[in-house]
Amino acid sequence: MLSYEYRGLDRKGDQAAFGFTDIKLIIPIGSNSELQVGKQKETFCYEMVGDAANLPHFERLMSPFFNSRNNGIIYRHFLLKDRMTISAGVFNQWPGNRKNLGDGATTFTARITGLPKWENEGKTFMHTGIGVRYVEAENGVIRLKGKNESNVSDNCVDTGNMNADHQWNVNM
């Protein structure tokens, strides 16, 4: 899967106006599992696993604490006629950050989802899920920052550098 995007000509500094959004290879494993390798969405929260650009603004609140895409490997297993998924991933910004693999912070994710209700050909449904994410600190520092629901606004959250070994995120 390859996806490329136009990010606007008003980018600041060294930010490119065009760039690859996803570059991943999906490898089927049997009839109910797959392995995904490349730059892709982390398996953590629905707002970023789903089509985040088209979600209502109030569902994009975790963006400051979460990278939407990262380089890594995901294993996904489908259960109950695709009404349940179990996925786990390992991510690291290498090779995109020009560091050795061991130099960058590694992220581990896991997510379980279920679809207990599906009626009227999907017009009525209930989607549930829980995810966990462990992020190693890079050089002993964690920094959480991001914009609110608008990509043209200033940062609404910026913790500054915090001395830490890692961070944990849990979502439902």
Distance CA 14, CA 12 (A): 6
Q: Is the pTM here over 0.85, yes or no? A: no
Q: What is the pLDDT of residues 110-134, one digit of tens each?
A: 999 999 998 998 889 888 899 999 9
Confidence of residue 18 (pLDDT cuts 50, 70, 90): confident
Query: CA 126: distance to chain centroid?
Result: 22
Least confident of 43-52, 54-63, 82-91: 54-63
Q: What is the pLDDT of residues 24-44, one digit of tens each?
A: 999 999 999 999 999 888 888
Tell whether the model's pLDDT for residue 99 goes beyond 80.
no
What would the two tokens of residue 46 be? 């629905």
Distance CA 125, CA 116 (A): 8
Distance CA 106, CA 136 (A): 6
Q: Give me the mean pLDDT over the 78-90 stretch.
A: 92
pLDDT computed for residue 42 by the predictor:
86
